[in-house]
Amino acid sequence: MSDQPVSSLWDQGITKTYQIPINNLDYKFIEKCSDVKHLEKILRILRSGEEGYYPDLTLFCEKRIECLAPGSRALRKDKPPASASDFTTEEWEKINDEMKSWVTEMKEDYYKIQFPVTETLHERLDNLPAVRGSNSCLHVCCSVGKEILFCCILLCDCNIDLCIFFTLRFDVEKECSKVDEVCEENNSKACFNISSNLPVIEKKIETTGMTKKERHFIANREKEKGNETFTIGDYKEAVTYYTRSISVLPTVAAYNNRAQAEIKLQNWHNAFQDCEKVLDLEPGNLKALMRRATVHKHLQNYQAAIEDLAKVLHVEPENVIAKTNLSDIEQKLKDLEPVSENHTKGKRILIQDIEESDGDEERGGNGKEHENGSGDKSNITNFNLFFPTVLRTVIPFTSSMA
């Protein structure tokens, strides 16, 4: 019944709204049509029911629009809020349990905060900056006034009803002369003040008089701000927020995140220090080990990187990133090897290199020495002499052919 939305005659004219030919209210047409706006109109007509009630066709049309434009406004429907039936039993229980435990936790904490306000809170209140406008003076008012008049004229020209001017409450007795220079600056500032300077964000936060819970809250908030800026690629800003978080309450997460941001900025030494801090606080931290490995890789301390990655894989053998990094580094090491092969005349073939880490204190040493070796192309024997500490078996195979 819902197949042919037309009566017995074929050419049925057009719909009341939108004036679309009735023939378009058809499965075949909708299937072939790729004009989203047209399909949306068809959907509206079908939903309104003015040409008849065709639930299957409406659904088909919706699916087609979803294929072409999932974000289309026509697909939005009014729905009631979700209830237990929209979730599995476990999910529903989990949600409810989480709420219960959170509520109990907050109740306990609330009574802890109810303790008398700390004395240092008053100290902090005294340390706040001065009330705005208490240093202003007459000159500012006049210069601002001129700018505002200008502003008003501009606004009238633009047909905007509201003109604004500002009154400043100030104490005339305060030092006006000191502010003269400030006035000069203000004069030169345009009404539409577009500052192209980078914002100056303080790296430390004043935490006198804060309870532990407050510190926790603020440190967490700064870290979240850092995460947000990191996600959109503002790594410098992210580092500032993480630094602020750490200045309030040093946490493993903040150090870890800052290390990652420093890696993106290619500040290898800063990243290294942050990784070290994390590993001081939490020796087995996998993220820190992986990040330190990345830093080592870029500083070309391949041996150290391999060790760090080995530790990660020991705990998480299936860690994909660690595995790829490891094979990457091994490849790099191999690439540095064949240099000695290239300059053998005749058929000097390097048969084996058995690398052994001799447990050297300076792990970086091996890597660096290795690099230096590859630059020395003249003599294999020299190669051996350079690195007496490296236990390596190199068997040069000289053929009789010159």
Partner 1 sequence: MSGAGLEKPQLITHVQQSLSYTVFDCKWVPCSARLLCLGSVPRGTGIIQLYELQSGRLSLLREIEKAKPIKCGTFGATSLQQRYLATGDFGGNLNIWNLDAPEIPVYSVKGHKEIINSIDGVGGLGIGEGAPEIVTGSRDGTVKVWDPRQKDTPVANMEPVQGESKRDCWTVAFGNAYNQEERVVCAGYDNGDVKLFDLKNMSLRWETNIKNGVCSVEFDRKDINMNKLVATSLEGKFHVFDMRTQHPTKGFASISEKAHKSTMWQVRHLPQNRDIFMTSGGAGSLHLWKYEYPAQRSKKDSEGVEMGVAGSVSLLQNVTLSTQPISSLDWSPDKRGLCVCSAFDQTVRVLIVTKLSKI
Residue among 1, 9, 103, 402 that touches partner 1 (CB under 8 A): 103
Q: Residue 171 CB, nearest distance to partner 1 (Å)?
A: 11
Does the footprint of partner 1 cover residue 147 (CB under 8 A)? Answer: yes
Q: Residue 186 CB, nearest distance to partner 1 (Å)?
A: 7
28 vs 212 by CB, closer to partner 1: 212
Residue among 42, 65, 144, 275 that touches partner 1 (CB under 8 A): 144
Does the footprint of partner 1 cover residue 166 (CB under 8 A)? Answer: yes
3 vs 108 by CB, closer to partner 1: 108
Q: How many CB atoms lie within 10 A of CB 254?
A: 27
The identity of residue 303, as a single letter, is: Q
Contact 52, 82 (CB under 8 A): no
Q: Residue 2 CB, nearest distance to partner 1 (Å)?
A: 21
Q: How far apart, in whole angstroms, are the C-alpha atoms of residue 370 and residue 365?
A: 8
Contact 65, 40 (CB under 8 A): yes
Does the footprint of partner 1 cover residue 172 (CB under 8 A)? Answer: no
Q: Residue 22 CB, nearest distance to partner 1 (Å)?
A: 28
Residue among 93, 109, 180, 360 that touches partner 1 (CB under 8 A): 109
Q: Residue 213 CB, nearest distance to partner 1 (Å)?
A: 7
Which residue(s) pair with 14 in the sheet? 21
Q: Which structure tokens are listed for 150? A: 């200008």
Stretch that binds partner 1, among 41-49, 110-118, 262-270, 341-349 (CB under 8 A): 110-118
The identity of residue 182, as a single letter, is: V
Residue among 55, 199, 283, 317 that touches partner 1 (CB under 8 A): 199
- Rounded to the nearest 10°, the torsion over CA 211, 217, 218, 223 is 150
> Helix, strand or coil for residue 14?
strand
- Rounded to the nearest 10°, the torsion over CA 140, 142, 145, 146 is -110
Enumerate residues 200-239 that contact partner 1 by CB under 8 A.
200-202, 210-211, 213-214, 217-218, 221, 224-225, 228-229, 232, 237
149 vs 349 by CB, closer to partner 1: 149
Buried b (16+ CB within 10 A) or exposed e, 31-45: eebeeeeebbbbbeb
Q: Residue 322 CB, nearest distance to partner 1 (Å)?
A: 24
Enumerate residues 314-373 that contact partner 1 by CB under 8 A.
none
> Helix, strand or coil for residue 298?
helix
Q: How far apart, in whole angstroms, are the C-alpha atoms of residue 9 and residue 385?
A: 100
Enumerate residues 45-84 that contact partner 1 by CB under 8 A.
71, 73, 76-83
Does the footprint of partner 1 cover residue 161 (CB under 8 A)? Answer: yes
Q: Which structure tokens are listed for 87? A: 């979730």
Residue among 59, 95, 153, 310 that touches partner 1 (CB under 8 A): 95
Contact 120, 209 (CB under 8 A): yes
Does the footprint of partner 1 cover residue 187 (CB under 8 A)? Answer: no
Does the footprint of partner 1 cover residue 388 (CB under 8 A)? Answer: no
Q: How far apart, in whole angstroms, are the C-alpha atoms of residue 283 and residue 278?
A: 7
241 vs 383 by CB, closer to partner 1: 241
> Helix, strand or coil for residue 258?
helix
155 vs 339 by CB, closer to partner 1: 155
187 vs 384 by CB, closer to partner 1: 187
113 vs 385 by CB, closer to partner 1: 113
Q: How far apart, in whole angstroms, are the C-alpha atoms of residue 233 and residue 236?
A: 9
Enumerate residues 119-138 that contact partner 1 by CB under 8 A.
121, 124-125, 128-133
Residue 21 has phi, psi (to 5 degrees) of -60, 135
